[in-house]
Amino acid sequence: MEEIINPTIKKDAKPFKIYQVVIPVLLGLFVIGWLFLDEFNPDVFSTFNFTIVSVLFILLAFLLMLMRDFGMMWRFRLLTDKDLSWKQAFHINVLSEFTSAVTPAAVGGSSLVVIFLIKEGINAGRSTTIMFVNLFLDELFFLIVCPIVFLFIPLPELFNSSSVIVSTFAVVFTSLYITRLVWASIMFIGIFKRPNWIRHMLLTLFKLPVLRRWYSNVDLLTNNLVQASRDIGSHSYWFWIKAFGMTLLTWSARFLVVNAVFMAFNPVNINHLVVFARQMILWVFMVVSPTPGGSGVTEYAFREYYGDVFSSPSAIIFVTLVWRMISYYLYLLLGLLIIPNWIKKSFTRNNNETTDVSQNK
């Protein structure tokens, strides 16, 4: 909370601790290892018809993740009116994915996008608005696409009751769909219709004694938020069509990674629309996972949910590992490679700017 209200970070502050990276990796690998020891049969490799086509589908899975990243970067540039360079947008995207991977979804790695944008020169109010617009577009995709896709799939194929964990998906999904519909409605009002309501609510909240020391920061932040909301709400319909188009590309590419991985190992007898639709349901389940990035829970749920796609339990365990390596562990690695250099450059730049301002005074 304090970082968003007053986005100043000490020069020697560390953006993450090493255990925040180690824990999710160990959780995911522990579950995969446990499943391997319990059910894995090495003979499963003899059942895979692994050819050059399989390699191409694995490469397609990586390409889909690149498409997903391109969509996110393009959207950041669009929402900042291209004030961000492609390099800056790349850094923000990787940092956002990394923080989401090392924090539980309930805590919200997405909120740190505000800090990343501020460090790249976007003011606090505008950064907060962009964060909320990103969240709103993501929720809009989910709320629109889910009902459309589900119209073409019998519910028993989506919510099979082959295990206890899968039988809870329907209840969890329905509850969260309603919750997200309400949340998206609130964001729409706050961003596009009545930003002053958000300002009034926050200023009232921060008049409380325990929060009063941040009142002046919130006053400045909400002033910027109202102005930025007016600016972003003045864009044309074509602007929002492009923004939602990139959102559609981003999430579709991410969910289709599973389709590509499945095609690499089991290219026949797959209903790809069902596989795609189940990804949306599984994503909702991952959102309520208490573990960092859904580690452990996601691997187990994936194995249970897609167990009927492969005849062998060993096969789905191996495919689960491949999927997580492409869609999750890759971002942990990229984050570790990019964060140190980004911290050095962005924090040094901001410290120098602060020093220059002080000297000019």
Hey, what are 193's tokens? 């219709």
Question: What's the per-residue H, E or C state across 163-218?
Answer: CHHHHCHHHHHHHHHHHHHHHHHHHHHHHHHCHHHHHHHHHHHCCCCCCHHHHHHH
Residue 340 DSSP symbol: H
- When mean pLDDT is compared across 144-158, 200-214, 216-230, the lowest value belongs to 216-230
What's the rounded Cα separation, in Å, for the pair 18 and 23? 9
Q: Which residue has the higher pLDDT, 85 or 126?
A: 85
Statement: residue 35 has pLDDT above 60: no
* pLDDT range class, residue 354, cuts 50, 70, 90: very low
Q: What is the mean pLDDT of residues 272-289?
A: 84
Q: In this predicted model, what pLDDT tens digit does every residue of 182-205 receive, in sequence order?
A: 888 877 887 788 888 878 887 888
Statement: residue 325 has pLDDT above 80: yes
pTM of the model: 0.80
Q: What is the mean pLDDT of residues 256-281?
A: 87
Burial class for 169, CB neighbours closer than 10 Å (0-12, 13-18, 19+) = buried
DSSP H helix total and E strand total for the chain: 16, 0
Q: Which of 321, 323, 306, 312 lies closest to 163 in space, CA to CA? A: 306
Render the burial of 95-108: b for 16+ CB within 10 Å, e for the rest: bbbbbbbbbbbeee
Statement: residue 3 has pLDDT above 50: no
What is the pLDDT at residue 66? 94
* Proportion of the chain above pLDDT 70, given as a percent: 75
**Residue 86 and residue 77 in contact, taking contact as beta carbons nearer than 8 Å:** yes
Statement: residue 355 has pLDDT above 90: no
Q: In this predicted model, what pLDDT tens digit does every residue of 288-303 receive, in sequence order?
A: 777 776 777 777 788 7
* pLDDT range class, residue 241, cuts 50, 70, 90: very high
Statement: residue 150 has pLDDT above 50: yes
Residue with tokens 């940092």: 95
Element (H, E) at 113: helix 113-119
What is the pLDDT at residue 254? 93
What's the rounded Cα separation, in Å, for the pair 166 and 206? 42
Statement: residue 274 has pLDDT above 80: yes
Statement: residue 361 has pLDDT above 50: no
